[in-house]
Structure formats: structure tokens, C-alpha cells
């Protein structure tokens, strides 16, 4: 898909990846951008900075997501691209991560994508075209050491994007899932431990990868290209991959 003349909604849009994508899409000639974020003041400032619209939205509240889509349609007539990008870290394993953390991560990283799809798919299917870009993580394809709720829910986000593509590809709906490692945002790791990331990239570089991937309508958006090889190795021999991850975790704990 070419982004020229397209109307785009971006959640998690007040900074980092969301704001960078908005800038890149406008440079590609997007007809309109609606930024959304939980922090009303922050998203209003971000929208003013780059010259687009913005509104507050809690993406874990389906009614608010529906209202976001309705407001965008009122402003621009339709939604061509929905970037379901909001997310947050969630540390802990099994015994030390409270049920509330698991539930919050599930609502933010999985249900928010479902709510977005429910809100925009009817119009997209009626027109016979549309694009859903869901932000997951390389952790969803592989694993994040020490972060059970994050890894599990990001994996579910990848699976949900696959389900969307399979189910609605014949309706003209394109789907991509964004799976970065470290990006220079508020969520970036403060240090680079063994296997934690192949390097922290700038959000602007990630946004350019998004533009290029959407143009080619490929499913995986991989700003860190090494991830593709890791996924291939995992698929070739999952038992060997699991043993390798166990060794990596042990080295990390010992280091």
C-alpha cells in the first residue's frame, strides 16, 4: 500500500514509535493522521508538533476505541490504515508477577488489537481495502528473558495478526505485525545484556522500515533484520532453540 492520500489512525501516538510513524506517513503524503494516546495533554502536544489531529483514548476500553474510529471518520470520511501501536512493559515471571499485571498486559497487547479490528473492519470490508498494522515485538516471535507477561501477550498479538490476515485477506484487508527489538524510546532497555537486543535503533529508522514494508505489503515488519534469521532457526529446531535460550538465561543471571 502506498500511504499517499490515506487516512491513518495511530494509537500510542504521543511519542516514540507512534509519533515517528506519523511523521513518516505525512512525508509519504498521507491525507490525514489521527494520533491517540492515554495522556490527553501529551497527544495534543504531539499532534500540534507534527501538524495532525489527536485525541485521548484508552485502548483497553472498547467504547473509547470505537469513539476514536468514529471521530476519525467524522473528520476524514474513512479510516484506511489503523496502527494499533499502544503498549507498555510488564516485568516478572510466574510467581513474582501479579495476576493484575498479566491481565493489564493482556488487555493492552491483545484486546486493544481486537477492539481496533472490530471498529474498522466493517468499513474496510465494505470498500474492499484497508490496512491493519499491529505493534508486537521481537519478543513475541522469540522471547524476552525475565518478562513473562510481556513475552506471552506479544506472542498472542502476533498470532492475532496472523488470524486477521488469514481470515480477511480475501476481503482486501492487508495486515502487518511490527516486531522490533530495542528502539530509542521510553521503553528502551537501559543496558544491552546478552541477547537482549542487536542494537537500539532510532524510532525514525523504524518508521522508514514500516513505510517500506507496507509498500511491499509484507506481514513481518522487522526493523532489526537479524530477527528473521532467529525465527528461521527456531522453526528449524525448536528444542535446540529452547536449550540455547536456557543457556542464555543462565549466562545472564550469572553475569
Instruction: Name every residue whose Cβ is closer than 8 Å to that of residue 142 and which is 6 or more positions away in sequence.
Output: 227, 230, 231, 234
Q: Of residues 30 and 249, which shows the higher confidence score? A: 30
Confidence of residue 92 (pLDDT cuts 50, 70, 90): confident
Read off the pLDDT of each residue in 75-103 and give the average, rounded to a whole number. Answer: 88
d(CA 34, CA 11): 8
> Is the pLDDT assigned to residue 42 strictly greater than 60?
yes
Whether 2 is covered by a domain: the verdict is no
Whether 221 is covered by a domain: the verdict is yes
Residue 211, helix vs strand vs coil? helix
User: Would you say 206 and 180 are in contact if contact means Cβ atoms under 8 Å apart?
Assistant: yes
Kindly tell me the sign of the dihedral angle through the C-alpha atoms of 71, 76, 78, 81.
Answer: negative
d(CA 12, CA 9): 10
Confidence of residue 110 (pLDDT cuts 50, 70, 90): very high
Residue 194: per-residue pLDDT: 42
d(CA 241, CA 66): 41
d(CA 180, CA 32): 25
Tell me if residue 150 is catalytic.
Answer: yes
Whether 245 is covered by a domain: the verdict is no
User: Would you say 1 and 8 are in contact if contact means Cβ atoms under 8 Å apart?
Assistant: no
Task: List for the chain the helix, strand, coil content (%; round to 5).
Answer: 55, 15, 30
**What does the radius of gyration of the chain's CA atoms come to, in whole angstroms?**
18
Residue 188: per-residue pLDDT: 52
Confidence of residue 89 (pLDDT cuts 50, 70, 90): confident
Residue 150: per-residue pLDDT: 93
Q: What is the CATH number of the domain that holds 128?
A: 3.40.50.720
User: Would you say 150 and 89 are in contact if contact means Cβ atoms under 8 Å apart?
Assistant: yes
Confidence of residue 196 (pLDDT cuts 50, 70, 90): low
Whether 188 is covered by a domain: the verdict is yes
The count of structural domains within the chain is 1
Catalytic residue among 76, 131, 150, 230: 150
pTM recorded for the entire structure: 0.92
Whether 251 is covered by a domain: the verdict is no
| Percent of the chain whose pLDDT exceeds 90 | 82
Residue 190: per-residue pLDDT: 43
Read off the pLDDT of each residue in 172-197 and give the average, rounded to a whole number. Answer: 72
CA distance readout (Å), 193 to 35, 176, 190: 33, 29, 9
pLDDT one-digit tens code per residue, 178-187: 999 988 876 5
Expressed as residue numbers, the domain containing 205 is: 7-226
Whether 189 is covered by a domain: the verdict is yes
Residue 55 cell numbers, joined: 485525541
> Is the pLDDT assigned to residue 255 strictly greater than 70?
no
d(CA 174, CA 188): 29
Residue 195: per-residue pLDDT: 47
d(CA 33, CA 195): 36
Whether 232 is covered by a domain: the verdict is no
Instruction: Name every residue whose Cβ is closer than 8 Å to that of residue 220 and which is 6 or more positions away in sequence.
Output: 141, 176, 177, 179, 213, 228
Residue 72 cell numbers, joined: 476519525
Whether 234 is covered by a domain: the verdict is no
Amino acid at each position: 500500500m502506498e500511504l499517499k492520500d490515506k487516512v491513518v489512525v495511530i494509537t500510542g501516538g504521543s511519542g516514540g514509535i507512534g509519533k515517528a510513524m506519523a511523521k513518516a506517513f505525512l512525508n509519504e503524503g498521507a491525507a490525514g493522521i489521527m494520533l491517540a494516546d492515554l495522556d490527553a495533554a501529551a497527544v495534543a502536544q504531539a499532534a500540534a508538533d507534527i501538524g495532525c489531529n489527536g485525541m485521548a483514548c484508552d485502548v483497553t476500553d472498547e467504547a473509547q476505541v470505537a469513539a476514536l474510529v468514529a471521530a476519525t471518520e467524522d473528520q476524514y470520511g474513512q479510516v484506511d490504515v489503523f496502527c494499533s501501536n499502544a503498549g507498555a512493559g510488564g516485568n516478572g515471571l510466574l510467581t513474582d508477577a501479579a495476576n493484575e499485571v498479566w491481565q493489564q498486559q493482556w488487555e493492552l497487547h491483545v484486546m486493544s488489537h481486537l477492539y481496533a479490528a472490530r471498529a474498522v473492519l466493517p468499513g474496510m470490508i465494505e470498500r474492499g481495502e484497508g490496512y491493519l498494522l499491529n505493534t508486537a515485538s521481537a519478543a513475541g516471535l522469540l522471547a524476552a528473558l525475565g518478562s513473562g507477561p510481556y513475552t506471552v501477550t506479544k506472542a498472542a498479538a502476533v498470532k492475532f495478526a496472523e488470524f486477521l490476515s488469514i481470515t480477511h485477506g480475501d476481503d482486501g484487508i492487508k495486515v502487518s505485525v511490527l516486531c522490533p527489538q530495542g528502539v530509542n524510546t521510553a521503553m528502551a532497555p537501559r543496558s544491552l545484556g546478552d541477547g537482549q537486543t542487536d542494537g537500539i535503533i532510532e524510532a525514525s529508522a523504524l518508521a522508514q522500515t514500516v513505510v517500506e514494508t507496507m509498500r511491499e505489503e509484507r506481514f513481518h515488519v522487522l526493523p532489526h533484520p537479524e530477527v528473521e534469521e532467529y525465527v528461521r532457526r527456531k522453526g528449524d529446531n525448536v528444542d535446540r532453540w529452547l536449550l540455547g535460550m536456557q543457556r542464555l538465561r543462565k549466562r545472564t543471571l550469572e553475569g
